[in-house]
Structure 1
Amino acid sequence: MLPENEINRVLVVTAHPDDADFGSAGSVALFVDRGVEVTYLLATDGDAGGNERTLDNSGMAELRRTEQLAAAKAVGVTDVRFLGYSDGQVVPSLELRRAIARVIRQVRPDLVITHHPDRNYQFIAPSHPDHRAVGGAALDAVYPDARNPYAFPELIKEEGLEAWTVREVWLNGGSTPNHWVDITEAMDRKLAALQSHVSQVAHVEGFADFVKSRFASWAKQAGFGEDRYAEGFQVVTTA
């Protein structure tokens, strides 16, 4: 794994508003505390989400973008970007790979955090089709697209974006995590980020307790003990 002092820029690539907050907001808060530059890249605006359909899709998209900006602020992230794909209709296309590779070359991250591209048969929620599509496209953008100057040559010729090699990827939502981050000191900020998504969670009774219980169980699985919270990832080296 990359030593902590060699992680200076992180790109978090997700499908929907709130995905980063469920998956990695605690780890992100800890990165920000250390002065790491973090960028969020969202494939969709979440226009097909929400518990009550009092808004049309464009209204929901605008609301969820606003919620995501507030959630990012809760953990110290100010660079949030949206690709504008339709919620529920994302596929791992060449177009999506190019869009992610473009941002990788712009941000030049040492680490990319994204969805696991495989279905999780132990816990189905992280296996939304958009999650799997974005995770797969992000991995393809990391290797080989962003590092290969001959892939999407227009990114160099027309936009001046030279090739960039991401050194490591952390996948969340999979069934085989091999790296755990103790997020206990950032748990309140993670919860604040999640609660910023009012359209998604306000109707869930006992939401805060549910979140704490879920991440406490992962801390126990990681061996951190009682009264701790953890996020889990599968680490992929790209060398």
Structure 2
Amino acid sequence: MSICSSKLPKFTEFGKKIVGVGANYNALLEAFFNGKKPTAPIIFLKPPSAYVTVGKPIRIPKICQNVNYEVELGVIIGQKGFDIPENKAMDFVGGYTCALDLTDFGTLGTSREARGPWSLAKGFDSSCPVGDFIPKNRIPEPDNLKIWLKVNNTLKQDDNTGNLIFTLPQLISYISKYMTLEPGDLIVTGTPDGYGPVSHGDKIKAGLGDVTEISFEIERL
């Protein structure tokens, strides 16, 4: 089942899930995988309540004490699919967005020590700020796209999606082997090195090449 492309800009309103990918840039291979390419992506979920859109502040819950910024290319699914072959995967892409995958590293560390899930560390309210929907044809080479982030106008992250460990077709195909991808679902594809903590009042700017730029201000509740 596909959905009219004119509805996809409202993905934050009707998309059922946000699928995240952990440690998916070559610069992170040494730190996370001892320099060797992993055999499969690290996958986690965020609820739709994690969304916050441009024009609204990122309001961090009091309980989250060590929140880090992470800029990511977001892939918005355009049609329903399960067990999608890699060579057909890009046919299921409806568009893109610039996204932030905010992570509470304090909670994440506790979860890792207990070998528990990442749900609270990754899924708190405001943990997935996103920009506008970008039609698929505006990014003809999603595998060769500059991705960057600034905090208070200081550049913190600067990389290219050509350095993803697992490509977009590989991610879409792999995820869809386990769960049906539906129109409006968002895949956040991983963040480059340079991620770090945010504080109350920080101003975050991020972008995808010269295609789009997003900005948010941090508020602590």
Q: TM over 0.5: same fold?
A: no
* TM-score normalised according to structure 1 size: 0.25
Higher relative CO (Cα under 8 Å, sequence separation at least 6) belongs to 2
Larger CA Rg, structure 1 vs 2: 1
* TM-score normalised according to structure 2 size: 0.27
